A = this chain, B = another copy of it.
Amino acid sequence: MAQRIVPDVVVRRLTQYYYALRNCRKRGLEIVSSQLLGEMLNVTAAQIRKDLSFFGGFGKQGIGYNVDSLLDHVQRILGLKRTWPVALVGLGNLGRALLHYQGFEKEGFKIIVLFDSDPGKVGTTIGQLEILDDKEIAQVLPAMGVRIAILALPPEKAQEVADMLIEAGVRALLNYAPVTLKVPEGIWVRQMDPLVALQSMTYYLVSLEEA
């Protein structure tokens, strides 16, 4: 069956369903209805059923969804049933904090290679990993099968490094640099910019004061 095109907003919600379902499992629930799942996530039951129907019929009429089975399907759809090797570029304060964050590995994202441009850092080792020079990306990365990179570097360097990474086979970028990256079709970028997030909330704080 030809896969319909799935809106990105649905894919993003699917990650929420994934966490909600794990929560159900932790609570010992065997069956969950779209109703209950919706209450957990503040979305309508209809939306959950609609979203899931993009990928198949996973429930039973009159019953609901088997938590384990649906969780398994969602994991498979999102590609979470494997370990993804990840490149981390930039080992300043933020980069090092990300490297030490346990959550990535717990969820199957394993940082296997580090890059930085600072000659003072290149060649040094953190844990098991040596910091390589940015310039080596083209040389070492393709053989590693890395499709995901985390960018934790200054905004001036972000575009240049992104270009090199994409050239070396990376297809998904988690970008902490406050820059809108220009990437070709077929490359995915998620922006992790705390300033943008704050600056869109201050709008509401102002209108709060005025009210």
Contact = CB atoms under 8 A, between A and B. Distances in A.
B198 A174 contact: yes
A57 B149 CA distance: 42
A198 B172 contact: yes
A101 B97 CA distance: 12
A78 B202 contact: yes
Contacts of A186: 208
A62 to B, nearest CB: 29
A45 interface: no
A188 to B, nearest CB: 5
Given A93-B101, A180-B41, A195-B103, A188 B201 contact: yes
Contact of A78 (B3, B147, B190, B199): B199
A119 to B, nearest CB: 22
A44 interface: no
Contacts of A194: 98, 101, 103-104, 150, 174, 192
Contact of A79 (B41, B148, B150, B203): B203
Contacts of A202: 78-80, 84, 148, 172
Nearest to A78: B203
Interface of A: 3, 8, 11-12, 14-16, 18-19, 41, 77-80, 84, 92-94, 96-98, 100-101, 103-104, 107, 109, 147-148, 150, 171-172, 174, 178, 180, 186, 188, 190, 192, 194-208
Which 4 residue pairs are nearest across A and B when measured between Cβ atoms?
A79-B206, A79-B202, A190-B197, A93-B97
17 contacts: A14-B200, A14-B203, A41-B180, A78-B203, A79-B202, A84-B202, A84-B205, A93-B96, A93-B101, A101-B194, A103-B195, A104-B194, A104-B195, A172-B201, A174-B194, A188-B204, A188-B205
